[in-house]
Amino acid sequence: MKAPERGALPLGLAATLGRAYGRLTETVQGLSDADFRRETRCPGMPVGPLLVHLLYDAERALIAFASPAVAEPDRDFVTYWKDVPPQGGTSFVSAVAAAYRKPAQLVQHWREVSEAAARAAAAGLATKDRCVETQGHVLRAKDFVATLVLEATVHHLDMTVGLPNAPEPDPEALQVTARTLDGLFGPEAWDVIAWDTTTYILKATGRLPLDEADLDMLGPHASRLPLLA
């Protein structure tokens, strides 16, 4: 297995976000009603409601980029996750998903909003030192886009657990997500991690349980997982 590559955020993050969102569109395009009811790795949130959750995330991006912040950043792409509000509202997103008459209507709405969010991200990143406000915090535009990439990538992996023919997440989106987890884990834990990137994301976010080999590998660092809920 190959441990995740580490380093700074890559250039072209808006394109990474566009590809991450595009892979999600490929995943849900053409799914049946039964597919939209399939369970995901998010308890109580099947495929359809999880897509609604992602839709609201993309809408949040549009709002943020349309309302630039004037305050100095108080979070970056790593520290943002240390006190992000817990995911909730499963009943709400389930009700919204059910309100769409057909899955194709939800997919079309997702496609339009996610593509607009990726374009807004590209425009936002083109402005030097652009900052945005979201979830009560101020982030530089590139850090904010990295949080969107992580959200899309982790939930892509959540969604495809019951969709074996779905495309894999974008490789660079996986790397951005792994770099975020690296920041949360801290350099003292890096040398012991031997998982491949996807396994790292799934285990570090609690999507897969740790087995005995994992516990032996991680030693005292095991108690710090999951890094994200």
Q: Which fold has domain 13-185?
A: Four Helix Bundle (Hemerythrin (Met), subunit A) (1.20.120)
CB atoms within 10 A of CB 72: 8
Question: Other CB atoms closer than 10 Å to residue 208's CB: what's the count?
Answer: 18
- CA 6, CA 211: separation in Å to the nearest integer? 24
Contacts of 227 (CB under 8 A, 6+ apart): 81, 181, 184, 185, 204, 205
CB proximity list for 96: less than 8 A, separation 6 or greater: 49, 52
Question: For residue 199, how many C-alpha atoms fall within 13 Å in the half-sphere facing its CB?
Answer: 11
For residue 119, report the phi and psi dihedrals to the nearest 5 degrees: -65, -40
Calpha distance 181→144 (Å, rounded): 15
Q: The whole model's pTM is what?
A: 0.94
Tell me the pLDDT of the chain (229 aa) as tens digits.
344 556 678 889 999 999 999 999 999 999 999 999 999 999 899 999 999 999 999 999 999 999 989 999 999 999 999 887 666 678 999 999 999 989 999 999 999 999 999 999 999 999 988 999 999 999 999 999 999 999 999 999 999 999 989 999 999 999 999 999 999 998 888 889 999 999 999 999 999 999 999 999 999 999 999 998 7
Provide the residue type at 130 as one letter: R
Query: Phi, psi (5° rounding) for residue 132?
Result: -135, 160
